[in-house]
Amino acid sequence: MKSTEEIQTPIEHPWVMLESPAELEGWMELNNQELQKLLGQNASPINQGQGICLSLSHGGEIYFHTNADGDVLLDVTPEAQWVTPVILAVSKLSAPKGQIWLLPQHVLLPLLMGLNPLIASSRLVLKHAYRILK
């Protein structure tokens, strides 16, 4: 189920298992370039919510966004809560009270490697409203 507060690209790509951290880094760079191209002149440090949405093979989605400090925001939908043990194992952090995770940048690559066999597809997201309580 896609949020009505989300602006997305219409292209969902089937996931191809990435065999190494180098392949994953290449995939991340390619997606970053595509995202920058789609954002065009609208790209600025104040834009929020651009990133990638991973649809999981056993249900649910995880939205990834990197903030200005380089930290990673994850919005793990309720249907994707089953991946919590993977996130906990990789991040060594406690689970948040809600569905939004704030992870240090160095956790992104190991997390994606851990999720790699669980991903069904990916798509770029131009705007996603994270449900953060203010």
Q: Is the pLDDT of residue 131 over 90?
A: no
Residue showing tokens 């104040």: 46
Measured in residues, the chain has a length of 134
Report the percent of the chain where pLDDT is more than 90: 45
Q: Given this model, what pLDDT does residue 9 score? A: 53
Helix 108-115 and helix 84-91: axis angle, to 10°?
140
Residue 43 has pLDDT above 80, yes or no: no
0.85 exceeded by pTM: no
* pLDDT tens digits, one per residue of 88-125: 999 999 988 888 899 999 999 999 999 999 999 999 88
Q: Which pLDDT band, with edges at 50, 70 and 90, does 57 fall under?
A: very high
pLDDT the model gives residue 17? 92
The answer to whether residue 35 scores a pLDDT higher than 50 is: yes
| pLDDT for the residue numbered 3 | 47
Sign of CA dihedral 64, 118, 8, 132: negative
